[in-house]
């Protein structure tokens, strides 16, 4: 299994977490993901996720003036999105902690 395949399973939570911290536009979101060590997440991956999250009412967008060029679409987390994000984080923790424990045992041998 590739790193990209693993990330697809948790990408919604990564994107919603960034949006929860601060409203962002698409390109800025891609930069933030790169800054935290996820350079393989491209615009072509991000925009379909944003559209899906909007359809589920987990995020919403607003056009805002840009200091340079056309208006930008900024994304915000909804209350439903906050609940979903908390659910995903809890589910992730239920998986990641036991897996880390198991894989950590392997390093000891």
Q: Which domains does the chain have, with CATH numbers?
A: 3-108 (1.10.10.10)
HSE on the CB side for 72, CA within 13 Å? 15
Rounded Cα distance, 76 and 91, in Å: 23
Identify the DSSP state of 109: -
CB 40 within 8 A of CB 25: no
∠ CA(71), CA(22), CA(33), 5° rounding? 90
Instruction: List Cα–Cα distances, 93 to 19, 46, 86, 104, in angstroms.
Output: 20, 23, 11, 16
- Choose between 9 and 12: higher pLDDT: 12
Mean pLDDT of 37-65: 92
User: How far is Cα 62 from Cα 108, in angstroms, rounded to an integer?
Assistant: 51
**Average pLDDT score over residue span 53-80:** 95
DSSP structure class, residue 93: H
pLDDT tens-digit series, residues 23-39: 999 999 999 999 999 88
Q: What is the mean pLDDT of residues 84-96?
A: 93
Average pLDDT in the 8-29 region?
A: 93
pTM: 0.86
What's the pLDDT at 61?
97
User: pLDDT value at position 108?
Assistant: 56
Mean pLDDT lowest among 3-7, 16-20, 21-25: 3-7
pLDDT at 33: 93
pLDDT number for residue 107: 59
């Amino acid at each position: 299994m590739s790193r990209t395949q693993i990330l697809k399973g948790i990408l919604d939570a990564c994107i919603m977490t960034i949006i929860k911290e601060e409203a962002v536009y698409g390109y800025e979101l891609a930069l933030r993901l790169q800054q935290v060590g996820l350079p393989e997440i491209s615009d072509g991956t991000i925009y379909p996720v944003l559209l899906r999250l909007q359809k589920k009412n987990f995020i919403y967008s607003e056009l805002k003036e840009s200091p340079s060029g056309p208006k930008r679409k900024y994304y915000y987390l909804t209350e439903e999105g906050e609940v979903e994000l908390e659910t995903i984080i809890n589910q992730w923790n239920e998986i990641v902690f036991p897996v880390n424990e198991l894989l950590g045992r392997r390093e000891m041998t």
